[in-house]
Chain A
Amino acid sequence: MINLTIDGIQVSVPKGSTILQAAAQAGIRIPTLCWHPDQAVKANCRICVCEVEGNRLLQAACSTPVTDGMVVKTKTPKVIEARTMILELILANHPQDCLNCIRNQNCELQDLAAEYFIRDNPFENKTRGYELDRSTPSIVRDQNKCVLCRRCIDACSVTQSVYALGLENRGVSSMVVPTLGEPLIESPCVMCGQCIHACPVGAIYENEQIDELLAAIADPDKVVVTQIAPAVRVALGEEIGMKTGDLPMEVLVNGLRQVGFDYVLHTNFTADLTIIEEGNELLKRLKEGGTLPMFTSCSPGWINFCETFYPDLIDNLSTCKSPQQMFGALVKTYWAEKMNIDPGNIYSVSIMPCTAKKYEASRPEMCDSGYRDVDLVLTTREIGRLFRMSGIDFSKLAPSQFDPWMGQYTGAAVIFGATGGVMEAALRTVYEIVTEQELQDVNFRMVRGMEGIKEAEVDLNGTVVKVAVAHGLSNARKVMDQVRAGQCDYHFIEIMACPGGCIGGGGQPITKANAKRAERIDAIYIEDEGLPIRKSHNNPEVKMIYNELLHEPLGYKSHELLHTHYQFKNKKYL
C-alpha cells in the first residue's frame, strides 16, 4: 500500500493507483472531462491538474501514479486558476447555445463551467464552422461542439472494434472525423451509438424525430400504434427522475396513452415469437446439417457489423427478423385485420433502446406488410423528453393494460434486453421442444452477467448443445475470428452489439459507466422472476397467432413476414 496526503487527509491506496483514485477514496472529487471510468487514461484535457509537492508543474490527477509520502493539493489558487483557464479555452471555441443543445442539463462541460463559475470569458468565442453530419438515419455529429476528449474514438475502436472514428490533423486544427474525413455513412460505422454515451457534450447524438411523432399524433387520419422494447422500461425511469427499474410497466403504458398513442402494444410479443421461429430454425439446422454455428439476429448494430466485417459468415446469421421488424410486419397485417383498421392508416412507432434500429427500420427490404413496416423509431431518450414535456407525475399515474392481440409477453421476452437473454429464452423453449419434458428451473445463470464472452453446454436428452454469448463488438470480433478460423464448435451464438446488451444500447439514457448497465440488467431479471409465464411458447397470444395465421414455425407465412436476408456492406475503406 502507498501512503500519501491529499489536501491534508492521509490516504492509503494500492500501488499503481492514480491521484484521481486516491482522492476519490479520501472523499475528494477532482473534476474530469476526458477521463472515462471504463476506458484507458488519456490525460489530454488537463482539467484534473493538481499541485504535487516537489513538482514545479501541475500534474494531471488521472494519469499520475501515487508515490509514498506524496503530498497533493487539489484546490489551491494556482490549481483553480489553471482549471478555470482550461475551461475558458475550451469554451472559447464551443458554441454558446446550451439552451438549444440536446445535452442541455446533461453535459459534463456545462457542469464544469457552472462548477467553476465561468462568467466573463476573456477569450473571444470563435466557433469552428463545421457542418452537421446527418448522413446516417441514426446518428448526428456536430464537430463544432467537440472538445477533443477522444472518448468516442475509444468507444468505437476499443469497445466496439469498428474503428469508424479517428483524429485528423494536429494542434488547433485537430478534429475527430469518420474514416478519411468522409461523412459517417461512408465509414464502417454500424450505428450502435456507443460514441453517444462516451461523448461528454452534445457533439454526437441520436437523429431526433420527436416532431415526426407529434405530427402523426396530430393527424386525425392516422392510427398511431406503438411497440416498446424490453430494455426501455428499466432505463426510462432514469430520464424522469426515477431509479433504474422503478417505472412500472403498466404506468409506462398509461404514460404512452397520455402523450397521444392510440394503441400500445409490446415488442415483447414478437420477442416471444422470435424465440419460436429462431429456436426451430436452430433445431432445423442441427437436424438437417445447416450452417452452424447460428448467430442471433436481433441486434441491428451487430447485423451491420457482420455485413461489413464478416460477409463470409452471413449464412450463419439467423434469418429471423428482429422483434421490431417482426412486429412491424404483423401490425399492418395480422393486427390490422383483427382490429379492422386500414393498414394504410396505421402509423407504426417503435420505442427502442437503440440508434441502429432507426437504420434497420429504413432498410428497403423491411416492407413485407406492403407498407413500410415500422414508420418511426424513437429512442428511450426521446420518449423520456416527451414524458418530461408532458408534465405527468408518474408516481401518481394509474396503471393501464396493453392493448390486445400483440401485447402479451413472458419473462423470456423481457430478458431479451440483457446480454445472454436471447440465448436463455431460446434454451427455455428449445429444451422443451427437444426433450418433450417440462423445464423445471428456467434460470440459465451461466449466460447472464457482464463478462464479455460467456460459454455454456446444455444437455438436451443426450444431445449436447454448445452455446456462446458475446456483447460489445470487440468481444463479438474475438468470437467471429474463431468461427472464421474454424477453431470453435459452438452451435448457437448470441451477439449483442452494445455492452450489456440492449440495456446499454445507444438510445438509452446517457450511460457514463458500465456499473449502470449492470444495475439495469438486475432490473431485467427481477421483472422476469416476477412474471407468471417465463417461456415464450406458453405465451397465449403467440399460440393464437400460430393457430390463426402462421400455422407452424418456419412455415409459408413466417417466411413471408418474419424472416429476412442479409447482404455484404461493401464499405470502401475499413
Chain B
Amino acid sequence: MDYLKVISDHADVPGGILQAFHAVQAGLGYLPKEVIAEAARVFKISTADAHGVASFYSMFSVNSRGKNVIRICESAPCHVAGAAEVVAALERELGIKMGESTANGLFALEFTECVGQCQATPVITVNGKPYLDVKPAQIPSIIAEYS
C-alpha cells in the first residue's frame, strides 16, 4: 500500500496521526518503523513521540504479525467464565503461544482488555468481529473460517 499517501491524506485532521495509523494498519497489519517515522514528519512531532503513540495503544502493533488477529479478553468476567481454557484451545489449535504469530503468517494471538460484551463471556474477536460465549470446542471451526 502507498502509506505515504495514506498518512498525508490525514495531515490536516486534528489528531490525525491516530486515524492515519489505523488506516495504515488496516492495510499492512502493523505499523512498520518507516510508517512511524513518516507520520512523525507529517504531524511535526519527534519519531520518539510517534513511537510512543503507536506503542501506547493495544490496537496498534509495532511488530509484524499474522494477518488475522485473534484477541481474547483478559478482564475479570471472561477470566471467571473460563477464558483460560479458550486460550489453551487457541494455542493448541494454532501451535503458538499468546503474543505470537503462526509461521504461515495467517494468525496472530493477542490479549485485549474488555470488549464490552460481558453478558456473553468468554469473548474473542477475530479482526474486530466478536464471538460470544465461546467454548474451547468451537475454536477449530472459528479458525477454519479464516484459513
Contact = CB atoms under 8 A, between A and B. Distances in A.
Interface of A: 157, 163-170, 177-181, 187, 572-574
B48 A166 contact: yes
A572 B58 CA distance: 26
A169 B47 contact: no
Contact of B49 (A166, A178, A181, A572): A166
Classify chain B: how many residues form its interface, as a range: 10 to 19
B48 A169 contact: no
13 contacts: A157-B48, A163-B48, A164-B48, A166-B49, A167-B52, A168-B55, A170-B55, A180-B33, A180-B48, A180-B51, A181-B55, A572-B37, A573-B33
Contacts of A166: 46, 48-49, 51-52
A156 to B, nearest CB: 8
B48 A187 contact: yes
A183 to B, nearest CB: 13
Which of the listed residues B37, B55, B56 has the most CB atoms from chain A within 10 Å of its own CB?
Answer: B55
B47 A180 contact: yes
Given A179-B51, A180-B36, A181-B51, A169 B46 contact: no
A574 B48 CA distance: 8
Nearest to A187: B48
A573 B52 contact: no
Contacts of A169: 55-56
Interface in B27-69: 33, 36-37, 40, 46-49, 51-52, 55-58, 62
Contacts of B37: 180, 572-574
Contacts of B33: 180, 573
A181 B47 CA distance: 10
Nearest to A163: B46
Contacts of B52: 166-168
A573 B48 CA distance: 9
Contacts of B56: 169-170
B51 A163 contact: no
Contact of A168 (B40, B51, B57): B51
Contact of A165 (B40, B48, B57): B48
Contact of A574 (B47, B51, B57, B58): B47
A573 B55 contact: no
A163 B55 CA distance: 17
Given A169-B56, A177-B48, A573-B40, 12 more contacts: A157-B46, A163-B47, A163-B48, A163-B49, A166-B52, A170-B55, A180-B37, A180-B51, A181-B51, A181-B62, A572-B37, A574-B40
Contacts of A179: 46-48, 51
Nearest to B38: A573
Contacts of B58: 170
A573 B54 CA distance: 15
A170 B47 CA distance: 17
Nearest to A168: B55
Nearest to B58: A170
A179 B36 CA distance: 10
Contacts of B48: 157, 163-166, 177-180, 187
A97 B40 CA distance: 38
Contacts of A187: 48
A192 B131 CA distance: 53
Nearest to A169: B55
B38 to A, nearest CB: 10
A309 to B, nearest CB: 11
A178 B57 CA distance: 19
Contacts of B55: 168-170, 181
Contacts of A168: 51-52, 55
Contacts of A170: 55-58
B100 to A, nearest CB: 17
Contacts of A181: 51, 55, 62
Nearest to A153: B48
B59 to A, nearest CB: 12
A157 B49 CA distance: 10
Interface in B85-144: none
Contacts of B47: 163, 179-180, 573-574
A187 B48 CA distance: 9
A182 to B, nearest CB: 8
Contacts of B57: 170
A87 B58 CA distance: 28
Contacts of A165: 48
Nearest to B56: A170
B34 to A, nearest CB: 9
A165 B33 CA distance: 16
Which of the listed residues B48, B49, B55 has the most CB atoms from chain A within 10 Å of its own CB?
Answer: B48
A115 B58 CA distance: 38
Given A169-B55, A170-B56, A180-B51, A574 B36 contact: no
A3 B49 CA distance: 40
A569 to B, nearest CB: 15
A170 B60 CA distance: 12
Contacts of A163: 46-49
A177 B62 CA distance: 14
B99 to A, nearest CB: 12
A212 to B, nearest CB: 32
A272 B120 CA distance: 79
Which of the listed residues A157, A168, A179, A574 has the most CB atoms from chain B within 10 Å of its own CB?
Answer: A179
A187 B40 CA distance: 14
A163 B49 CA distance: 8
A180 B34 CA distance: 10
